[in-house]
Structure 1
Amino acid sequence: MTYYRDLTPYTYGSDDWDLAGRWQGIPLLTVGWLSRGRRYAKGAPPAGLAEALKRMARTHRAAQTRGRHVCPWCSLRLFGPRGDIPWGSAEIRVMGDDLAYVAPELVAHYVEAHRYLPPADFVNAVLSSGTFS
């Protein structure tokens, strides 16, 4: 998966899939595009964050790909069934104030299993999102 430092402009893919133009003109910032060998903020997540991100992985999906991205830390395991390695194939997008955050579908796993602590503005946008659509 491509690495981006948090809160940098999203440049990963084209928005050809966005036929309705929902994201046109809205600045997109990256969150949670982690990579092995790169440092990331760690800490205890606010209550409900991982659960909200899991819901958003179902309701806020965007840019579905045909391939899979596996967790760079869990994929190092050399034993156990292959089905226990988390993977993702899409993004989630979360509206903030006059911008949107783009995160890989694995962001909930990173928060829950690897103590990733996303930027506060992203966390606030996720937790204050009353509708999951």
Structure 2
Amino acid sequence: MTYYADLTPYTYDSDHWDPEASGRLWQGVPVLNVGWLSGDKGYANGSAPPGLVEALKSMTRTHRAQQTRGFHLCPWCPLLPGAGYADGPRGSAEIRVMGRGVAYAAPELIAHYVEGHGYLPPADFVAAVLSSDGAA
């Protein structure tokens, strides 16, 4: 997976996402990266606020976007000998979350990164996730 620093402008797969087709909610709203981590880069660590992991897991079903044909494996979870790719954490899509005047794009592995590796996303993203009304 490509690394992008948190809160930088989203450019990963913007040529395949039509915000106008997604409804008025997304029109004219800048999209920022969150959680595009890499095994060779540091990231913010901390304790997840109550409900964050559960909300992110739910959003991998309700807020999916940019489904790809391939998938990305967690860079910190080793595959066990004899295990197949399906046995480890992997992702093949993104989630989109509306914030205040911005939208956030995150890989669907973000829930795993928070729960399994102590990644602490930016506060504004956390607030947007925890206050989401389920609109994707």
Q: TM-score, normalised by structure 2?
A: 0.89
Measured on the aligned residues, the alpha-carbon RMSD in Å equals 1.6
The alignment status of 1:20 with 2:21, answered yes or no, reads yes
Deviation above 2 Å: which 4+ runs of structure 1? 14-19, 21-24, 76-84, 130-133
Gaps of 5+ in 2: none
Report the alpha carbon displacement of residue 119 of structure 1 after superposing the two structures with TM.
0.4
| Alignment CA distance shift 1:78-1:116 (3 Å) | same
Report the alpha carbon displacement of residue 101 of structure 1 after superposing the two structures with TM.
0.5
**Residue of 93, 98, 101 corresponding to 1:95:** 98
Question: Could you tell me which amino acid in structure 2 is paired with residue 109 of structure 1?
Answer: H
For residues 36-47 of structure 1, the aligned pairs below 5 Å read 36-47=39-50
| Number of equivalent positions | 132
Q: TM-score, normalised by structure 1?
A: 0.91
State the distance in 2 between where 1:11 and 1:107 align: 18
| Alignment CA distance shift 1:78-1:93 (3 Å) | same
Q: What percentage of aligned pairs have identical amino acids?
A: 67
State the distance in 2 between where 1:80 and 1:132 align: 40
Indicate the residue corresponding to 1:79 in structure 2: 81
Q: Retained in 2: the 8 A contact 1:56–1:132? A: no
**Residue of 52, 55, 67 corresponding to 1:52:** 55
